[in-house]
Structure 1
Amino acid sequence: MNKSASEILNNPFLNKGTAFTYQERRELGIIGTLPSQVQTLTQQCHQAYAQFKSKSSRLEQRIFLMNLFNENRTLFFSLMDKHLVEFMPIVYDPVVAESIEQYNEIFLNPQNAAFISVDHPEDIETTLKNAADGRDIRLIVVTDAEGILGIGDWGVNGVDIAIGKLMVYTAAAGVDPSQVLAVSIDAGTNNQQLLDDPLYLGNRHKRIYGDKYNQAIDQFVQAQQTLFPEALLHWEDFGRSNAQTILDKYKNKLATFNDDIQGTGMVVLAGILGALNISHEKITNQKILIFGAGTAGMGIANQILNELVQAGLSVNDAKKCIYAVDKQGLLFNDSPDLTPAQKDFVHQRNEFANADQLNNLYEIVKTVHPTIMIGTSTQPGAFNESIVREMAMHTKRPIIFPLSNPTKLAEAKAKDLLEWTDGKALIATGIPVDDIEYQGVKYQIGQGNNALMYPGLGFGLIASTAKILNSQTLSAACHALGGIVDATKPGAAVLPPVSKITEFSQKIAEVVAQSVVDQHLNREPIDDVKQTIANMKWYPKY
Structure 2
Amino acid sequence: MHDSQGFVGSKGYTTLKTPSQNKGLGFTDAERETLGLRGLLPPATLTLEDQVELTMQELRRKTSALDKYVFLQSLQDVNATLYYAVLSRHTYECMPFVYTPVVGEACQKFSQIYRHTPQGLYLSLNDRGKLRSILDNWPVEDIRAIVFTDGERILGLGDQGIDGMGIPVGKLALYTACAGVHPSHCLPVALDVGTNNEAKLNDPFYIGLKRRRLTGEAYDAFVAEFMEAAVDKYGKSVMLQFEDFGNNNAFRLLHHWQEKVCCFNDDIQGTAAVALAGILGSTAITGTVVNDHRFLFLGAGEAGAGIAELIAYAIQVETGKSIEECRKQIFMLDSNGLVCKSRLGELQHHKINFAHDAEHVPDLLSAVKALKPTALIGVSTLAKSFNQAVIEEMSANNERPIIFALSNPTSKAECTPEEAYRWSDGAAVFASGSPFGPVEFKGKTYVPGQGNNAYIFPGVGLAAFACGATRITDLDMYIAAKALAATIPQDQLDASCVYPPLRDIREVSLKVAVAIAANKYATGQASVLPKPADLEAHIRSVMYTPRY
TM-score range, shorter chain: over 0.9
Q: Which consecutive unaligned segments of at least 5 residues does structure 1 have?
A: none
- Provide the residue aligned with 1:341 in structure 2: 350
CA contact (8 A) 1:116 1:186 kept: yes
Distance 1:68 1:218 in 2: 34
- Provide the residue aligned with 2:395 in structure 1: 392
CA contact (8 A) 2:410 2:435 kept: no
Q: Which moved more, 1:258-267 or 1:478-487?
A: 478-487
Matched, 1:24 2:31: yes
CA contact (8 A) 2:449 2:497 kept: yes
CA offset at residue 33 of structure 1?
Answer: 2.4
State the percentage of identical aligned residues.
36
Distance 1:88 1:418 in 2: 25
Distance 1:472 1:20 in 2: 47
Distance 1:20 1:517 in 2: 42
- Provide the residue aligned with 2:507 in structure 1: 503
Matched, 1:325 2:333: yes
Tell me which amino acid in the other structure corresponds to 2:175. Answer: Y
Distance 1:62 1:155 in 2: 20
- Provide the residue aligned with 1:246 in structure 2: 253
Tell me which amino acid in the other structure corresponds to 2:459. Answer: G
Distance 1:72 1:196 in 2: 35
Matched, 1:116 2:123: yes
CA offset at residue 225 of structure 1?
Answer: 0.3
Which of these residues, 273, 289, 314, is aligned with residue 296 of structure 2?
A: 289
Which of these residues, 432, 453, 458, is aligned with residue 455 of structure 1?
A: 458
- Please, what TM-score do these two structures have when normalized by structure 1? 0.95
Distance 2:462 2:494 in 1: 33
Report SS of the residue matched to 1:311.
helix
CA offset at residue 405 of structure 1?
Answer: 2.0
Matched, 1:274 2:291: no
5 Å-filtered alignment, 1:55-454, equals: 55-131=62-138, 133-229=139-235, 230-312=237-319, 313-333=321-341, 334-335=343-344, 337-348=346-357, 351-352=358-359, 355=360, 358-454=361-457
CA contact (8 A) 1:378 1:409 kept: yes
Tell me which amino acid in the other structure corresponds to 1:326. Answer: D
Tell me which amino acid in the other structure corresponds to 1:11. Answer: T
Q: Which moved more, 1:9-18 or 1:365-374?
A: 9-18
CA offset at residue 159 of structure 1?
Answer: 0.5
CA offset at residue 212 of structure 1?
Answer: 1.1
Distance 1:486 1:96 in 2: 29
The root-mean-square deviation of aligned C-alpha atoms, in Å, is 1.8
Distance 2:279 2:463 in 1: 23
Distance 1:52 1:436 in 2: 26
Distance 2:345 2:204 in 1: 38
- Provide the residue aligned with 2:6 in structure 1: none
Tell me which amino acid in the other structure corresponds to 1:252. Answer: E
CA offset at residue 61 of structure 1?
Answer: 1.5
Report SS of the residue matched to 1:397.
coil
Distance 1:3 1:367 in 2: 74
CA offset at residue 44 of structure 1?
Answer: 2.1
- Please, what TM-score do these two structures have when normalized by structure 2? 0.94
| Aligned residue pair count | 535
Matched, 1:520 2:521: no
- Provide the residue aligned with 1:534 in structure 2: 540
Distance 1:13 1:80 in 2: 15
Distance 1:161 1:46 in 2: 27
Tell me which amino acid in the other structure corresponds to 2:336. Answer: Q
Q: Which moved more, 1:482-491 or 1:165-174?
A: 482-491
Q: Deviations over 1:480-505 (max 9, x none)?
A: 11122346853330111222212211
Report SS of the residue matched to 2:169.
helix
Report SS of the residue matched to 1:119.
helix
Change (3 A) 1:394 1:179: same
CA offset at residue 119 of structure 1?
Answer: 3.4
Distance 2:10 2:506 in 1: 35
Q: Which moved more, 1:418-427 or 1:59-68?
A: 418-427
Tell me which amino acid in the other structure corresponds to 2:28. Answer: T
CA contact (8 A) 1:286 1:371 kept: yes
CA contact (8 A) 1:174 1:539 kept: yes
